[in-house]
Amino acid sequence: MTAPFSETGVLGSTGVLASAPLIGFAFGWCLERGGLGSARKLTGQFYLTDLTVFKVMFSALVTAMLGAFWLDRLGVLDLGLVYLPETYVVPQAIGGVLFGVGFLVGGLCPGTACVAAAAGRLDGLAVAGGMLLGIAAFNALFDWIRPLVESTALGAVTLTQLAGVPHGAGVLAITVAALAGFALASRIERARG
């Protein structure tokens, strides 16, 4: 039996729908328990006083990457069936900047905004509301901004495909970058704290 179960049909459409809220609640619970429902903690990374978010997100990324790579190698997961979002260079770069500005101004990102809202924090409710307004505005203006949204398409590519290196080499490079980043982040926190 090979994963992903959503693609191989093991879960079925009902199972997929049922698993989504379970994973979502688990993710939210972990974020809240990790203190990431607090806007103060989140904005700390922009002032280099608290780099928890950077460390949590990058360690989650490396854990998922190593897990997915080895599960694929061991035949438990077929990575070719895992959905890979398409790359649109310019619109995604603009989206990244907008996301960063919104993160800094609101103090929360989409996931943590939902966590904060669920925990009853007013700032979380405000950011989650703003997010919904943003989604509505994007949809209302979609025809107008469509040329930009669909520009600079690269298709569903990975970093290793773009660089023309084997997957294993990419895994090693990102892990080394993460470990170096963690060491640097701890040093910065000690110096600023």
Q: Which is nearer to other proteins, 105 or 150 (CB)?
A: 150
By CB under 8 A, tell whether 175 contacts other proteins. Answer: yes
Q: Which is nearer to other proteins, 21 or 80 (CB)?
A: 80
Q: Which is nearer to other proteins, 18 or 162 (CB)?
A: 162
Strands, E assignment, the chain:
87-88, 153-155
Decide: 158 and 170 in contact? Cβ < 8 Å. yes
Helix axes 122-140, 142-149, angle to 10 degrees: 90
Is the Cα dihedral 41, 44, 50, 55 positive or negative?
positive
Decide: 82 and 3 in contact? Cβ < 8 Å. no
Binding mask 70-109 for other proteins (x = CB under 8 A): x--x-x--x-xx-x-xx-----------------------
Smallest distance, other proteins to C-beta of residue 189, A = 11
Q: Which residues contact 158 (CB under 8 A, 6 or more apart)?
A: 84, 167, 170
127-156: contacts with other proteins (CB under 8 A): 150, 153-156
| One of 16, 48, 178, 188 touching other proteins (CB under 8 A) | 178
Collapsed DSSP state (helix, strand, coil) of residue 3 = strand
d(CA 87, CA 153): 6
DSSP 85: P
Region from 15-23, 60-68, 96-104, 128-136 binding other proteins, contact rule CB under 8 A: 60-68
- The token pair at 17 is 């729908």
Q: CA 84 from chain center: how many Å? A: 13
Smallest distance, other proteins to C-beta of residue 120, A = 29
Give the binding-site size for other proteins (rule: CB under 8 A): 37
| One of 93, 98, 132, 157 touching other proteins (CB under 8 A) | 157
The residues binding other proteins (CB under 8 A) are: 2, 7-8, 62-63, 66, 69-70, 73, 75, 78, 80-81, 83, 85-86, 150, 153-157, 160-161, 166-169, 171-172, 174-176, 178-179, 182, 186
